[in-house]
Amino acid sequence: MTQDVKIHTHGRVGHISLNRPKALHALTLDMCHAMSAALADWADDDSVEAVIIDHAEGRGFCAGGDIAFLRNSALNDNGVSGRKFFHDEYQLNHQLFTYKKPVVCFMDGITMGGGVGIALPAKFRVATENTRLAMPETGIGLFPDVGGGWHLSRLGGRLGQFLALTGARLDGAECLWAGLATHYLPSQMAADAKARIIEKPDRIAGVLSEMVGSPPKARIEENADKIAKHFASDDFETILASLEAEDSDWSHKERDTLGTKSPQTCKVALRQLAEGAKMTDFADNMRMEYRIASRVINRPDFAEGVRAVIVDKSNDPKWNPPVPQEVDDALIDSIFAPLPADEEWKPL
């Protein structure tokens, strides 16, 4: 049993607490397996009525997946162990999405990548003043996975496409405004909220709405019209041209931000969200994302992006292809193509 997740029951509530503070609780394969096993046990246990997911200590709820492990796989075993990680992590995402009992996730602190993947399937998603939610994968040549194709494509006003491409960070108030969080609490009220949920697991909605402080104004709301306008297209070059054509500080800043991202990943993300929006079954979305992950982990941009942003911290990735015009449809088609039948992703 891994020490990186604490698993308890308190009365009628199962409690999963991420416990890898030095890595901001980034998920390892063992952590995914421990969480999946606990959820499976509680699903069949009539004495457990609800589940709380939070983190034990430190600044982050969950900073994502184990990126160093994934890069190591890309460089040393042709992505085999990395694909195993994605496969089982996506099983956990799907297990949470389809879970029959209410799950309450406290997104207190950094909630990125893999952290978003375990938070957004929860029925109750509590943000605080510490929440910093982002899908920053375009900056490392990965893509907004763990269900991003489903969750981000269902946000209004092209906000999902904006978040997927730019990796922008939302605070707690912005998460509530966007619908990524269902409730907002000052962090000092979180312990009390958990205690009340443990006391009354059949009244979670009531407990959370009774306690809500009024969140600050969502800053992103001021830019909502600009986001809807400039990120309207599913064509990456069209988005860049739209930002380029407007002479404003905001559009220049976002254009410059996109200029640092992997062109391949940006095109993958736009297609991923367009396809995800049409799907009616979350499992189909995860099957699509596993196909993408299986291909992207071995594409040059991933190892290079992690090198530049996380390993060397030089922030000078040399993308391949280097410009959007050279990322052709045939390359994107190959990344989305079905896998051999025995290699396709399957739910638990």
Residues annotated as part of the active site: 65, 114, 137, 145
Q: Element (H or E) spanning 132, and its range?
A: strand 132-134
What is the C-alpha separation between 13 and 10, in angstroms, rounded? 5
Q: How far is CA 125 from the centre of its chain?
A: 13
Contact predicate 22/59, CB 8 Å: no
Contact predicate 123/292, CB 8 Å: no
What is the DSSP code string of 97-119?
Answer: HT-SS-EEEEE-SEEETHHHHHH
What is the C-alpha separation between 92 and 35, in angstroms, rounded? 8
Closest CA to 229 of 251, 257, 258: 251
Which residues on adjacent β-strands are paired with residue 65? Answer: 27
Q: CB within 8 A of 109, min separation 6: which ones?
A: 24, 55, 58, 59, 60, 61, 128, 130, 131, 132
Q: Which amino acid is at 301?
A: D
Q: How far is CA 239 from the centre of its chain?
A: 23
What is the dihedral sign for C-alpha 138, 140, 145, 151?
Answer: negative
Closest CA to 142 of 307, 268, 29: 268
What is the C-alpha separation between 245 and 230, in angstroms, rounded? 10
Q: How far is CA 216 from the centre of its chain?
A: 24
What is the C-alpha separation between 31 and 303, in angstroms, rounded? 23
